């Protein structure tokens, strides 16, 4: 049914639950998982350059270290379950599009994501990468809600 499952994560507790559920589902059906982190590129929005602490290189190094820990933890979940796992990190202006693009480029046939389950005005104001993926993806999306 599904052979390659993409599981985007930001390292949050809720995303961790989605990783656990996605890996468990993959184990049940004999699928491989691809765990993904997406970060926005470095930007400077200030009129005073002295206020900027990070340089692009420092930002990239910090993000690489941070996402490396997230991906290593997710890979450990998959390894413990005996599920084949690949980890990838991408930089994209719009995280939801980075998720969709990664799923397409890796030949994924399912995306498993977390959602906070916000409703009403909170959902409209805060937005959601999950909602954007649901809206724009041609690949099926399984949403883990808390």
Q: Span 6-23, mean pLDDT?
A: 96
Bridge partners for 112 per DSSP: 142
CA 136 vs. chain centroid, Å, equals 15
pLDDT at 119: 58
CB 110 within 8 A of CB 8: no
- Segment 46-85, tens digit of pLDDT: 454 554 666 788 888 889 999 999 999 999 999 999 999 9
CATH topology of domain 4-101+141-145: Rossmann fold (3.40.50)
Under the banding of pLDDT at 50, 70 and 90, the label for residue 111 is: very high
- Measured over the CA atoms of residue 45, residue 48, residue 53 and residue 59, the dihedral's sign is positive
């Amino acid at each position: 049914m599904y052979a390659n499952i993409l599981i985007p994560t930001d390292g949050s507790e809720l995303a961790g639950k989605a990783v656990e559920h996605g890996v468990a589902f993959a184990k049940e059906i004999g699928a491989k998982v691809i765990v993904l982190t997406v970060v926005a590129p470095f930007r400077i929005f200030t009129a005073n350059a002295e206020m900027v602490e990070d340089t692009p290189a420092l930002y990239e190094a910090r993000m690489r270290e941070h996402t490396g820990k997230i991906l290593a933890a997710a890979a450990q979940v998959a390894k413990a379950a005996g599920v084949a796992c690949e980890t990838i990190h991408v930089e994209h202006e719009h995280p939801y599009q980075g998720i969709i693009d990664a799923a397409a480029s890796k030949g994924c046939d399912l995306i498993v994501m977390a959602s906070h389950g916000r409703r009403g005005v909170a959902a409209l104001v805060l937005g959601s990468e999950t909602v954007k993926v649901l809206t724009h993806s041609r690949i099926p999306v399984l949403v883990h809600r808390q």
